C-alpha cells in the first residue's frame, strides 16, 4: 500500500520519532535572558533585584564580569531566617560558588540540560561563553523554559 | 512497499505521533506528594517546613483539612524582607487564597497542567479531590515534575 498524500512513512516507531524531535531542540531555542549581580552587592539588594526582574535565580559575577556564583530564592530565604544582617552581608558570602556551578552552552541539547536540572536539584543553569580567564554569562535555562519546550512539542503542528 | 517487520505504519505524521504520546500522559503519572500546613502556623514555621521537606510551595488547609491557600518561596521571601514579624504572623495573612488557586485532578492531562503553570506563572499546582465543602489536597505537580516528564519522553525506548 502506497502512503496517502499528505502523510509520510519513515520506517520508524513513534518513540523513535519522539526522541528525534526532542534531540533537535537546542538550549538556544528556549533560553531566557540572564540576570546578573556583582559579588559585592548586599543580599538585601539581590533579593530586591529578584523581585524587580521576577527571576528565581541570580548569577553572580566579579568586576571582570566573569561568573563566580549563583544565588537562588532558597539561598536568600535561608539567609533571611538566619542571624545575618541582609543589609550588610554581600552575596558572595551566601552564594553557591564556582567551581560548583553547573553550566551549559547555547548549542547544547535542551534534553541534556533538563537532565542536569533534575540530577542536581537546581532551578536554573547559566548559559556561558568561554573567555580567557573564565566564563561570561550569556543566558539562562530554568525549569520554566523546559516546561515551555514540553508544551511546544504538543502544539508543534 | 510493505512496512518492515518491527516497525509500524500508522498513516500519521511524526508531529501527530508526538502529540499523541504526550496526550497519553496524565497528572497521576508524574505527581509528587503534597506538603500541607494549617492556616494558623506562623510564616517562620512554614519556612522551616519548606526546608525540612525540601519543597518550594506549601498548600495551606483549614481545620477540616480543606484547601484554603498556597504559599510559595517567593511569598515567604517577600514577607521576610518586609516589616512583619515572621514568628507571629500566621500563613493565612500572606498566602494566595482560594478561589485564586489553580487546581487540577489526578486524571487531567499533564500537558494542560503544564500550560497552566506557564500561563499563571506559578511553580506548583495542587492535585485535589472534591469533598462536600471544598477540596482535599492529594498531590502536587511542579515544573520539576514537568521537566521529569520531558526527560522521560526522550528515554522512553
Give me the domains of chain A, ranges plus CATH numbers: 26-154 (3.10.580.10)
Q: Look at residue A21 in the predicted model and tell me its pLDDT.
A: 79
CB contacts of B24 in chain A (<8 Å) are none
Q: Is B142 exposed, middle or buried (0-12, 13-18, 19+ CB in 10 A)?
A: buried
The pLDDT of residue B79: 95
Residues in chain A closer than 8 A to B146 (CB atoms): 143, 146-147, 150
Judged by CB atoms closer than 8 Å, whether chains meet at A157 and B15 is answered as yes
What is the bridge-based pairing of β-strands A36-38 and A57-61? parallel
Percent of chain A with pLDDT over 70: 88
Residue A47 has pLDDT above 70, yes or no: yes
pLDDT above 90 (res A1): no
Burial of A42: CB neighbours in 10 Å, binned 0-12, 13-18, 19+ = middle
Containing H/E element for B137? strand B134-142
The CA-based dihedral angle spanning residues A82, A83, A85, A91, taken in that order and rounded to the nearest 10 degrees: -50
Average pLDDT of the residues in B105-118: 97
Read off the pLDDT of residues B3-48 as tens digits, 9 standing for 90 and up.
555 555 566 666 666 677 788 899 999 999 999 999 999 999 999 9
Distance CA A18, CA B59 (A): 35
ipTM topping 0.95: no
Average pLDDT score over chain B:
91
CA proximity to A58, closest of A82, A28, A94, A85 = A94
Give residue-wise pLDDT tens across range A62-115.
999 999 999 999 999 999 998 889 999 999 999 999 999 999 999 999 999 999
Q: Under an 8 A CB cutoff, do B7 and A13 touch?
A: yes
Output the pLDDT for position B44: 97
Amino acid at each position: 500500500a502506497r502512503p496517502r498524500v499528505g502523510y509520510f512513512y519513515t520506517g520508524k516507531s513513534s518513540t523513535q520519532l519522539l526522541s528525534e524531535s526532542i534531540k533537535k531542540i537546542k538550549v538556544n531555542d528556549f533560553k531566557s535572558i540572564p540576570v546578573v549581580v556583582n559579588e559585592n552587592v548586599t543580599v538585601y539588594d539581590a533579593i530586591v533585584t529578584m523581585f524587580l526582574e521576577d527571576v528565581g535565580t541570580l548569577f553572580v559575577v566579579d568586576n571582570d564580569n566573569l561568573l563566580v556564583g549563583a544565588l537562588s530564592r532558597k539561598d536568600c530565604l535561608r539567609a533571611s531566617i538566619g542571624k545575618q544582617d541582609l543589609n550588610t552581608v554581600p552575596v558572595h558570602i551566601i552564594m553557591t560558588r564556582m567551581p560548583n556551578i553547573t553550566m551549559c552552552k547555547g548549542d547544547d541539547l535542551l534534553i541534556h540540560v533538563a537532565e542536569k536540572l533534575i540530577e542536581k536539584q537546581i532551578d536554573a543553569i547559566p548559559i556561558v561563553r568561554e573567555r580567557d580567564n573564565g566564563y561570561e554569562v550569556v543566558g539562562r535555562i530554568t525549569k520554566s523554559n523546559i516546561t515551555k519546550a514540553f508544551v511546544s512539542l504538543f502544539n508543534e503542528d
